Amino acid sequence: MKILLAEDERDMSAAVTAILEHSGYEVDAVYNGLAAVEKARESTYDCMIFDIMMPKLDGIGALKQLRDSGDVTPVIMLTAKAEIDDRITGLDAGADDYLTKPFAMRELLARIRSMTRRTVSYTPTKLSVGAVDLDVEEQQLSCKNSISLSSKETKLMKFFMLNVGKALSTSMIFSHVWKNEADVDESVVWIYVSYLRKKLEAVNADIRIEGNKGEDFLLVER
């Protein structure tokens, strides 16, 4: 699990990072809102933690930009004790939860667990990129024509569509789509990417998956 932490107070950031890493999370730490937006656009996270008061771009501005661009990653906002208005604007801007400072680290960890467990149910059942639509429930991919997908192909296509323009490593894809499956290894990723490429071709799609066997893959609009 990968977390993006945007907190401008260096000591605070270092402490939170240490505890998160100790709890088994992978953490990217940034120190202002602009950097948070940039990081979120180039990488994929399971959860993001934003402080509200930050230089360059505050946490709410960063969150708004991400939500506007279609990023549905769960976000927890950190607010100062008296800032009720901040909490409201934060939630309205698309935050999933907030925590008032000072907070207990155990509570932050519990909230992260709760957020990431719910990710699945928050994802829309119909996704589109370019002129291509994916109906997650019907397992159908369509553009000029339509074609059926298997359940794994659907899951993989969904992961790509939720992360357009981001490089996804073979191991990241494997752990998202084939998590907890013992009888397969990472070579399955290449086979399924190959299936999807052919299927995108079959529906005359205006998007394509770039990348080579075993490396990073990237969904882009033509």
Partner 1 sequence: MTDDIYGKYRPALKAVLADIAARIEAYNEQEKAKNGEMAYEHLIYRIKSSDSMAEKCRRKGLPETSQSALLNIKDAIGIRIVCRFVDDIYLNVRYIKAMAGCRIVQEKDYIKHVKPNGYRSYHMILEFTEPYEDPAGANPGHFFAEIQIRTIAMDSWASLEHQMKYKHDVKNTDIIERELKRCADELAACDVSMQTIRNLICSEQ
Place of tokens 């467990």: 117
Choice between 69 and 150, CB closer to partner 1: 150
Q: Does 10 bind partner 1 (CB under 8 A)?
A: no
Strands (E) in the chain, as ranges, are 2-6, 26-30, 47-51, 75-80, 97-101, 126-129, 132-135, 140-142, 146-148, 207-210, 218-221
Question: CA nearest 62: which of 102, 116, 7?
Answer: 7
Smallest gap from Cβ 194 to partner 1, in A, equals 5
Q: Does 131 bind partner 1 (CB under 8 A)?
A: no
Q: Does 194 bind partner 1 (CB under 8 A)?
A: yes
Smallest gap from Cβ 130 to partner 1, in A, equals 17
Q: Does 175 bind partner 1 (CB under 8 A)?
A: no
Contacting residue, 69, 123, 125, 145, with partner 1 by CB under 8 A: 145
Q: Does 118 bind partner 1 (CB under 8 A)?
A: no
Choice between 69 and 194, CB closer to partner 1: 194
> 155-162 long-range contacts, Cβ below 8 Å, gap at least 24?
156/192, 156/193, 156/196, 157/196, 158/123, 158/127, 158/134, 160/196, 160/209, 160/217, 160/219, 161/127, 161/128, 161/129, 161/134, 161/219, 162/72, 162/123, 162/127
Interface with partner 1 by CB under 8 A: which range of 24-32, 91-99, 140-148, 165-173?
A: 140-148
Interface with partner 1 by CB under 8 A: which range of 70-78, 88-96, 141-149, 172-180?
A: 141-149
Q: Does 133 bind partner 1 (CB under 8 A)?
A: no
**Residue ranges that bind partner 1, judged by CB under 8 A:** 140, 144-150, 191, 194-195, 197-199, 202, 204
